[in-house]
Amino acid sequence: MRLRSIAISAVYGRVRQPWVRRCALSRGQLVVWAFDNLPNFDRPNSEAQTPGVRQTTSSVSTKPPMRRAPAWLFPMAMLLCSPALAAMTLTSTDIAPGEPIPAAHIYPRCGGRNLSPELTWSGAPSTARSLVLTMIDLDVKPSQWSHWILVDLPATATSLPQGTRSLPGNAKAVVSNFGNAGYAGPCPPRGTGLHHYEFTIWALPTASVSFAPDEKATEVLAYLSQHALDRASLAAVVQAPTA
């Protein structure tokens, strides 16, 4: 989950609230991330002195007085952390999240037509200079298995059509673990159970990135996870034939 700092001081002069540190934004969801010194707003001190009742020194509360959040703080945090500022999304008209991948996108050896699915994404950061697309089988041990890797997609690109044959700009395909420089649909070996295939669009701060042919999928993902500005994923499944 990528974290964005809330620069409240940039909006309200030199206002600094230590108990509003940053917010986490992921896939359109807003979470106020850290209220690590959150005071007990609107909670009266039960040990505070009651009017008209004298208290001894030992009974006087040592708790700090109740503090109230500035009226503008929470609306401003909501505004600054709104999904419109951060989350990338990835959708497809061909594949539904968590559902079986249709036969049209399965590899021919397993009875399909090997058409890459339509993919549409949005919300790439303005600082992104290129995009990378990966399709990874998460259930192949020990290093997972890449089926499709596209690098150097233009940062302005927002979709790929079904059965993509030509790539935008200077984009190119990398030879995957499947052995293809291009889309290679699912074809899990017999008796290996349910396989999860994850499509991910990655926004990178560099105009170009390169991977060795047949590089381990886990190493590709580790590099992208470390360097990407943001990402969005879509996962679907294929059941391997029984042994």
Query: Residue 178's domain is classified under what CATH number?
Result: 3.90.280.10
Q: What is the pLDDT of residue 118?
A: 98
Q: What is the pLDDT of residue 47?
A: 42
Closest CA to 196 of 128, 113, 101: 101
Segment 140-198, tens digit of pLDDT: 999 999 999 999 999 999 999 999 999 999 999 999 999 999 999 999 999 999 999 99
Quick one: 136 and 27 in the same domain?
no
Count other Cβ atoms within 10 Å, centred on residue 84: 10
Domain limit, last residue, from 52, 84, 116 = 84
Q: What is the pLDDT of residue 86?
A: 54
Domain limit, last residue, from 38, 67, 84 = 84
Total tally of structural domains belonging to the chain: 2
Quick one: 135 and 213 in the same domain?
yes
Give pLDDT < 70 ranges for the chain: 1-86
Q: Nearest-5° angle of CA 166, CA 150, CA 110?
A: 85
Torsion of CA 82, 84, 87, 92, to 10 degrees: 140
Burial 155-179 (b: 16+ CB within 10 A, else e): bebbebeeebeebbeebebbbbbbe
Work out whether the CA dihedral 222, 224, 229, 233 comes out positive or negative. Answer: negative
Q: What is the pLDDT of residue 12?
A: 30
How are beta strands 130-137 and 172-173 bridged, if at all? unpaired
Quick one: 113 and 193 in the same domain?
yes
Q: What is the pLDDT of residue 5?
A: 36
Q: What is the pLDDT of residue 16?
A: 32
Quick one: 71 and 101 in the same domain?
no
Quick one: 103 and 220 in the same domain?
yes
Quick one: 107 and 64 in the same domain?
no
- Backbone phi and psi for residue 75, each to the nearest 5 degrees, phi listed first: -60, -40
Closest CA to 200 of 140, 150, 128, 142: 150
Q: What is the pLDDT of residue 207?
A: 97
pTM over 0.85: no
Quick one: 67 and 175 in the same domain?
no
Whole-number Å distance between alpha carbons of 12 and 156:
33
Q: What is the pLDDT of residue 43?
A: 43
Quick one: 102 and 185 in the same domain?
yes
* Segments forming the whole domain that contains residue 59: 3-84
